[in-house]
């Protein structure tokens, strides 16, 4: 995390909120949530162990029951590791249950100790992240034989970056039967997490705080889950990775059952939290508060553009993407670009980057991508000097300067 960046938690702290953090911390290896305005940290995971010890946090660690491994995966140069299986231990020992219990304890404690002080609690569970290890009682609800393979399972990657073939090749040994089982285990894992969400909502009801508490459920990423013959997440620019759940409940202000189809992004939530709290705005504003959409989900003045940056986690390369309600343009610095018509091709099988029929769309989205890069201070938003730097495949390369 860049020093000097202001976070929503710091803004809420300044606004008089009491803040608690439970579970996975995935923002910095050098600092903890308590360095960013949070007052209480419980059941931390994914943090620097040395920092935790220095701050006096032990955590439970290793909260896993009796694992029955069903299949292991091995990548080149790595040791085999369990990819999916069944947890036959008690539910109380799972990470999601432990971290949710810790979050519930925080909101109950705040209601009891400082009932007149507003509070913010974030519960961060790892599940349903791989390895997919649901409890047996949830796994029993999903028969692999009933699972259909993703519509893009037989993608031949024609006119697509070669990294697709490389990634798909890592999973070739699974075979269709194991893919169906992996998907079934993942679905079971989702139900297992849903049960914990229910526990948190019940706690709000039990403490009489449900009406005035805004609850946000979302995820930091999706999972390919067999789409395009790939799993997990990372460099893939496809909907399975980028389109994540976002469910918001606020009984006093939002009518139940509403649906909003506008494009929003995770960092918009930071501005929503500051807005709801009446805190000072976060600057620079790379996102926008979702409060107007909560009041009017169908408003027609919302700019439907999503801009995504990827700096290479599993691989060292850079990738940029711009999404509109109908189209997606992907700039791949390591290969040629991608363009998808999400209305005509929702499973992103056909890359239309070289299709003359989409030339105008491609050029407009490329210009929009640069506009977004410049707006957000992207380090790669350099002066283009008027040159067509990123040409379709087969185009003549620009002449060298004398």
Domain boundaries, the chain: 8-298, 305-394
Q: Are 86 and 136 in contact (CB under 8 A)?
A: yes
Give every residue of the chain whose pLDDT is below 50, as ranges: 385-394, 396-402
Q: Which CATH superfamily is domain 8-298 in?
A: Alkaline Phosphatase, subunit A (3.40.720.10)
DSSP state of 85: E
Between helix 175-206 and helix 95-113 the angle, nearest 10°, is: 10
CATH fold match for the domains 8-298 and 305-394: no
Ramachandran angles phi, psi of 18, nearest 5°: -100, 125
Q: Using alpha carbons, select from 224, 243, 239 the residue that is nearest to residue 167.
A: 224
Which among 121, 110, 96 is positioned nearest to 45, based on CA atoms? 96
> Would you state the structure tokens that stand for residue 187, as one six-digit string?
């679905």
Burial 27-55 (b: 16+ CB within 10 A, else e): eeeeebbbebbbbbbbbbbebbeebbeee
- Domain range 305-394, its CATH number among 3.90.1170.50, 1.10.3480.10, 3.30.1120.10, 3.40.50.620: 3.30.1120.10
Percent of the chain residues topping a pLDDT of 70: 92
pLDDT for 59 equals 60
Instruction: Give the integer Cα–Cα distance in Å for 17 and 38.
Output: 9
Report the alpha-carbon distance of residue 233 to residue 332 in Å, rounded: 16
Using DSSP's 3-state secondary structure scheme, residue 241 falls into: helix
Contacts of 37 by beta carbon, 8 Å cutoff, 6+ apart: 7, 9, 10, 11, 12, 13, 14, 19
> Omega of the bond prior to 7 within 30 degrees of 0, cis?
no
N-terminal to C-terminal alpha carbon distance within the chain: 42
Q: What's the rounded Cα separation, in Å, for the pair 234 and 210? A: 36
The pLDDT score that the predictor gives to residue 46 is 87
pLDDT at site 87:
96
DSSP 8-state secondary structure symbol assigned to residue 132: B
How far is 277 from 235, CA to CA, in rounded Å?
A: 35
Task: Give, in order, the Cα–Cα distances in Å from 215 to each of 19, 110, 119, 265, 292.
Answer: 15, 16, 12, 17, 16
Report d(CA 271, CA 248) in Å as an integer: 15
Predicted confidence at residue 314, as pLDDT, reads 65
Tokens of 192: 């297992």
Question: Residue 322's beta-bridge partner residues?
Answer: 307, 329
| Rounded-to-integer distance, Cα 95 and Cα 99, Å | 6
State residue 400's pLDDT score.
Answer: 43
Q: Residue 339: left if φ>0, alpha if ψ -120 to 50, beta else—which one?
A: beta
8 Å CB contact between 47 and 155? no
Whether 234 contacts 319, CB under 8 Å: no
């Amino acid at each position: 995390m860049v020093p000097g960046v202001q976070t929503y938690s710091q803004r809420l702290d300044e606004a008089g909120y009491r803040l608690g953090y439970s579970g996975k911390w995935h923002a910095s290896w050098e600092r903890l949530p308590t360095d960013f305005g949070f007052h209480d940290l419980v059941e931390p995971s994914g943090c620097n162990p040395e920092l935790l010890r220095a701050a006096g946090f032990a955590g439970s660690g290793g909260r896993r029951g009796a694992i029955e491994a069903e299949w292991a995966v091995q990548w080149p140069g790595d040791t085999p590791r369990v990819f999916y299986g069944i947890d036959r231990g008690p539910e109380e020992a799972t990470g999601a249950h432990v971290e949710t219990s810790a979050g519930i304890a925080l909101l109950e404690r705040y209601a009891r100790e400082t009932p007149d002080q507003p509070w913010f609690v974030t519960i961060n569970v790892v599940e349903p992240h791989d390895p997919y290890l649901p409890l047996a009682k949830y796994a029993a609800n999903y028969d692999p034989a009933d699972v259909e393979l993703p519509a893009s399972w037989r993608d031949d990657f024609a006119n697509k970056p070669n990294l697709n073939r490389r990634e798909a090749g890592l999973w070739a040994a699974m075979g269709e039967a194991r893919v169906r089982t992996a998907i079934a285990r993942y679905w079971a894992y989702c139900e297992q997490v849903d049960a914990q969400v229910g526990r948190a909502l019940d706690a709000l009801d039990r403490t009489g705080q449900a009406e005035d508490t805004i609850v946000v459920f979302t995820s930091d990423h999706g999972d390919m889950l067999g789409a395009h013959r790939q799993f997990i997440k990372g460099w893939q620019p496809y909907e399975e990775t980028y389109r994540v759940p976002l469910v918001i409940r606020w009984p006093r202000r939002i009518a139940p059952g509403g649906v909003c189809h506008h494009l929003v992004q995770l960092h918009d939530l930071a501005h929503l939290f500051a807005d709801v709290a009446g805190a000072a705005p976060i600057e620079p504003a790379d996102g926008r508060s979702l409060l107007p959409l909560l009041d009017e989900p169908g408003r027609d003045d919302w700019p439907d553009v999503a801009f995504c940056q990827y700096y290479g986690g599993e691989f060292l390369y850079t990738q940029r993407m711009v999404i509109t309600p109908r189209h997606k343009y992907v700039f791949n610095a390591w290969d040629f670009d991608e363009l998808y018509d999400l209305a005509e091709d929702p499973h992103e099988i056909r890359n239309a980057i070289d299709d003359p029929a989409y030339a105008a769309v491609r050029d407009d989205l490329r210009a929009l991508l640069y506009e977004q890069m410049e707006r957000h201070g992207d380090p790669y938003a350099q002066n283009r000097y008027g040159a067509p730097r990123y040409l379709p495949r087969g185009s003549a390369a620009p002449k060298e300067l004398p």
